[in-house]
Chains A and B, each alone.
Chain A
């Protein structure tokens, strides 16, 4: 039975359809990568998976609860089994890294402060941030902020982890480190991980399955090999990095020719 099940999800903003009847099943313990270009609807889909927005129609069922129709109390119960690392880390700037990670433990569990402190330290140490607990988010580098955000997302040892563009804005070495970390978390804790990204290298490193989004619909859902072998023109365009809407040479010449032949250049 899938842990996350999206059924006929339709989302519209101001009459513009952003998600067009999406359906997707994510099995427990797998890494599902939602891949697609800018404006494909990845982030919108992620926000609906997190229950941050309500769709026009369709359902998002997480652990048997339809989060598009359930009560706020039920939604919060589902959310406690989920952890999220947003694109810009979204750490609470008024709290130290340690407090960011400890927040959910302090408020959602009845653990003793000493146990919480130990748990937080273990999580930060596992992510290479053992010495950074007392720092504020603005004192950290981009990679450290991302790792701190992963530590916070994993604070309650959730069953589902969601990553929004984990490698965005990071250098290749740090990005590769994060990919390793995601794989490690899956292996160590058997978490179900959903990753929203447009970075192909990262997607093909970590994914068990990939769902390829294009203009609000899934072009292909399958394993890495199935996606690589896809002959869908849009999938191929994405994988082969073929630019879209190339301006014809003639138009370019008309446009720039005027300038090249103009008095400013001729002078």
Chain B
């Protein structure tokens, strides 16, 4: 029994330590964010642009392909049930609302987690192992400002943009299905999509994608900073970063969905 209590206590403290560390890092990074803007330090702005290319532009093909597949799947699954009730046209609503509110931000976040979250952790973990982070400190640089803040700015800009691409591709895939099953024209499909969407759907997806960007960057970077040991520890931190950030993204998604659901009802 004593062992059980001890283990629960240890585990609780470990998780509280992680959440505390993440909160402090979030505060420090947002404080340093001003330096990454064009009006701040031009070297950080340049670093942010490089990150935008890596996190955003390079991820477009992957996100687009994933979104097309998911859009097609969602349309097929939805249509197979809705057809039974003679509500085939609601497939358009399902795909449009499903993507803008939920699947678009979540799918993009999972893709960015896998691509960039792991890369952040590996990059910073390697910098810790090779003493580059120590070097930054002794050169009177703030590692959070130097390494993390450009990534956060880049993610805050690119993740919502990627979400937009994801939504567009997913909804387009829905049209491909509708075209082959009902010969629906693109113009009419687009018209129906805009009919089914309200501004609130787009805003909720946008807010979610911003929150996911913060989670992915900070969890990935913090896991990198916590690396102790050699290359093996870098590998472990990469895995932990992806697992933790994916988990937190899904938890955050649930929280935001609940908030939008309950605030929308009234």
Of B43, B131, B141, the residue contacting A90 (CB under 8 A) is: B131
Name the distance in Å between A107's Cβ and chain B's nearest Cβ.
Answer: 7
**Cα distance, A104 to B134, chains bound together (Å):** 14
A86 with B140, Cβ < 8 A, contacts A106-B43, A107-B43 known: no
Residues of A with C-beta under 8 A to B134: 47, 50, 52, 86, 90
Residue interface mask A57-94, B partner, CB < 8 A = 1: 00000000000000010001101101010111011110
Q: In the bound complex, do residue B131 and residue A88 qualify as a contact, i.e. CB atoms below 8 Å apart?
A: yes
Of A51, A88, A103, the residue contacting B139 (CB under 8 A) is: A103
**Cα distance, A86 to B135, chains bound together (Å):** 8
Of B130, B135, B141, the residue contacting A84 (CB under 8 A) is: B135
**Cα distance, A50 to B136, chains bound together (Å):** 12
Q: Which residue in chain A gives the minimum CB-CB distance to B42? A: A106
**Cα distance, A90 to B131, chains bound together (Å):** 6
Residues of A with C-beta under 8 A to B142: 72
Q: How many residues of A contact B (CB 8 A)?
A: 23
Of B41, B43, B131, the residue contacting A86 (CB under 8 A) is: B131
B226 at the interface (CB under 8 A from A): no
Q: In the bound complex, do residue A92 and residue B132 qualify as a contact, i.e. CB atoms below 8 Å apart?
A: yes
Q: Which residue in chain B gives the minimum CB-CB distance to A107? A: B43
A108 at the interface (CB under 8 A from B): yes
B137 at the interface (CB under 8 A from A): yes
Residue interface mask B102-131, A partner, CB < 8 A = 1: 000000000000000000000000000011
Count class of interface residues, chain B: 10 to 19
B199 at the interface (CB under 8 A from A): no
Residues of B with C-beta under 8 A to A51: 137-138
Q: In the bound complex, do residue A80 and residue B140 qualify as a contact, i.e. CB atoms below 8 Å apart?
A: yes
Name the distance in Å between B169's Cβ and chain A's nearest Cβ.
Answer: 32
Of A52, A88, A91, A92, the residue contacting B138 (CB under 8 A) is: A52
Q: In the bound complex, do residue B135 and residue A107 qualify as a contact, i.e. CB atoms below 8 Å apart?
A: no
Residue interface mask B135-173, A partner, CB < 8 A = 1: 101111110000000000000000000000000000000
Q: In the bound complex, do residue B137 and residue A52 qualify as a contact, i.e. CB atoms below 8 Å apart?
A: yes
Q: Which residue in chain A gives the minimum CB-CB distance to B134? A: A52
Name the distance in Å between A191's Cβ and chain B's nearest Cβ.
Answer: 16
Q: In the bound complex, do residue A90 and residue B139 qualify as a contact, i.e. CB atoms below 8 Å apart?
A: no
Residues of B with C-beta under 8 A to A107: 41, 43, 141
**Cα distance, A17 to B261, chains bound together (Å):** 56
Name the distance in Å between B205's Cβ and chain A's nearest Cβ.
Answer: 34
Q: In the bound complex, do residue A50 and residue B43 qualify as a contact, i.e. CB atoms below 8 Å apart?
A: no
**Cα distance, A103 to B43, chains bound together (Å):** 10
Name the distance in Å between A47's Cβ and chain B's nearest Cβ.
Answer: 8
Segment 102-158 of A: residues with Cβ below 8 Å from B: 103-104, 106-108
**Cα distance, A72 to B132, chains bound together (Å):** 19
Name the distance in Å between B46's Cβ and chain A's nearest Cβ.
Answer: 11
Chain B CB within 10 A, most for which of A47, A72, A80, A92: A92
**Cα distance, A91 to B130, chains bound together (Å):** 9
Q: In the bound complex, do residue B130 and residue A93 qualify as a contact, i.e. CB atoms below 8 Å apart?
A: yes
Q: In the bound complex, do residue B135 and residue A104 qualify as a contact, i.e. CB atoms below 8 Å apart?
A: no
A92 with B135, Cβ < 8 A, contacts A80-B140, A107-B141 known: yes
**Cα distance, A76 to B141, chains bound together (Å):** 8
Chain B CB within 10 A, most for which of A103, A106, A108: A103
Q: In the bound complex, do residue A79 and residue B130 qualify as a contact, i.e. CB atoms below 8 Å apart?
A: no
Name the distance in Å between A68's Cβ and chain B's nearest Cβ.
Answer: 15
**Cα distance, A90 to B92, chains bound together (Å):** 56
Residues of A with C-beta under 8 A to B141: 107
**Cα distance, A26 to B138, chains bound together (Å):** 19
Q: In the bound complex, do residue A108 and residue B138 qualify as a contact, i.e. CB atoms below 8 Å apart?
A: no
Name the distance in Å between A137's Cβ and chain B's nearest Cβ.
Answer: 10
19 pairs from A and B in contact (CB 8 Å cutoff): A50-B137, A51-B137, A52-B134, A52-B137, A52-B138, A77-B140, A79-B138, A79-B139, A86-B131, A86-B134, A87-B131, A88-B131, A90-B132, A91-B132, A92-B132, A92-B135, A93-B132, A106-B43, A107-B141
Apart from A47-B134, A79-B139, A107-B141, 17 more pairs, CB < 8 Å: A50-B137, A52-B137, A52-B138, A72-B142, A79-B140, A82-B138, A84-B135, A86-B135, A88-B130, A90-B132, A90-B134, A90-B135, A91-B132, A92-B132, A104-B139, A104-B140, A107-B41
